[in-house]
Amino acid sequence: MTVRPIIFNSRSSPPAAPIALEDDGGMFSHPPALPMHLAAIVAMAGMLDAFSAPGFFTFEALCFVLLCFCLCSVWLLQLALFVLLNRRRGRLRRSLQLGWRQWAAGPVIAMVTVSLIALQVPMRLRFAVSRAALNQLAQQAVANGPKPLHGDWGIMQVQRAEAFDVAVMQVTSAGEVDFRVPGTEFFRSYSGFAYCPVGNTFDPEGSFEPLGGPWYVWHTSW
């Protein structure tokens, strides 16, 4: 039996390294990282809370709309530079295949947020939690008798109704009760809820959207 010696070729090339995104472009050569996704989730939660009121909570909505605008601008800038840098290296397709999930996360979060707000899901959920307390406040207001619509909403008493703070703005002889939700003021308008078991809402300067049963979303101006 002949034993053949094993000959090592010192000139043989080392094993190929796995393909990875290059680092010379900094953050712009990579897909969005975890901090960007966390910021998008915070913006989503803030937007859903801001639009959980009839209309929206003005200050909170403005803050989170600004945050969303900043995040969107950073995302678009990062995408543009990512495409530019990886195209110059000739590896754009490969880089997109490796990072498409990270790129898709932001738009998916944005679409879910916009869809929930458009369907009024946050507001309806919050109203469902508060409905029993609002019914009780409405019945108490009707028992106290008619009350004309007051123009100076700053002096109205604010009461807690589970997930909402509300103030009674008007009680009609027909039994309609209009509640303002503080924080929804925008220029010369505000929003709230209207309780109207007779079905004939009254506010010449306002508008009403059916919410179920005797309840309506109320928007008015002065």
Q: Clarify whether residues 128 and 217 are in a common domain.
A: yes
In this structure, the number of other CB atoms found within 10 A of the CB of residue 29 comes to 19
Q: What SS3 string covers 144-159?
A: CCCECCCCCHHHCCEE
> Which residue, 100, 119, 138, sits at the end of a domain?
119
Q: Clarify whether residues 133 and 217 are in a common domain.
A: yes
Inside any domain, residue 61: yes
Q: Clarify whether residues 53 and 139 are in a common domain.
A: no
Least confident of 51-65, 104-118, 145-159: 145-159
Span 53-64, mean pLDDT? 95
Residue 74: burial class (beta carbons within 10 Å; 0-12, 13-18, 19+): middle
Q: Quote the mean pLDDT of the chain.
A: 84
Q: How many residues does the chain have?
A: 222
Q: How many distinct structural domains can be found in the chain? A: 2
Q: Clarify whether residues 113 and 172 are in a common domain.
A: no
Q: Clarify whether residues 154 and 213 are in a common domain.
A: yes
Alpha helices in the chain (DSSP H): 34-50, 58-88, 92-118, 121-143
Q: Clarify whether residues 108 and 140 are in a common domain.
A: no
* Whole-prediction pTM: 0.79
Which has the closest alpha carbon to 129: 156, 160, 96? 160
Q: Kind and range of the H or E element at 180?
A: strand 177-180
Give Rg (Cα) of the chain.
29
pLDDT at 105 over 50: yes
What is d(CA 182, CA 177) in angstroms, rounded to the nearest whole number? Answer: 16
Q: Which residue has the tokens 């009609």?
A: 172
Domain that holds residue 170: 122-221
At residue 8 the predicted structure's pLDDT band, cuts being 50, 70 and 90, is very low
Residues 183-193 pLDDT 10s: 999 988 899 99
> Which residue, 94, 119, 144, sits at the end of a domain?
119
Inside any domain, residue 19: no
pLDDT at 10 over 50: no
Q: Clarify whether residues 162 and 217 are in a common domain.
A: yes
What is d(CA 121, CA 107) in angstroms, rounded to the nearest whole number? Answer: 19
> Which residue, 87, 119, 151, sits at the end of a domain?
119
Q: Clarify whether residues 100 and 132 are in a common domain.
A: no
What is d(CA 103, CA 68) in angstroms, rounded to the nearest whole number? Answer: 16
Span 83-109, mean pLDDT? 82
Inside any domain, residue 177: yes
Tokens of 147: 């009350």
With b meaning 16 or more CB within 10 Å and e meaning fewer, what string describes 136-154? ebbeebbeeeeeebeeebe
Q: Clarify whether residues 168 and 204 are in a common domain.
A: yes
Report the largest interatomic distance among the alpha carbons of the chain, rounded to a whole angstrom: 114
Q: Clarify whether residues 142 and 197 are in a common domain.
A: yes
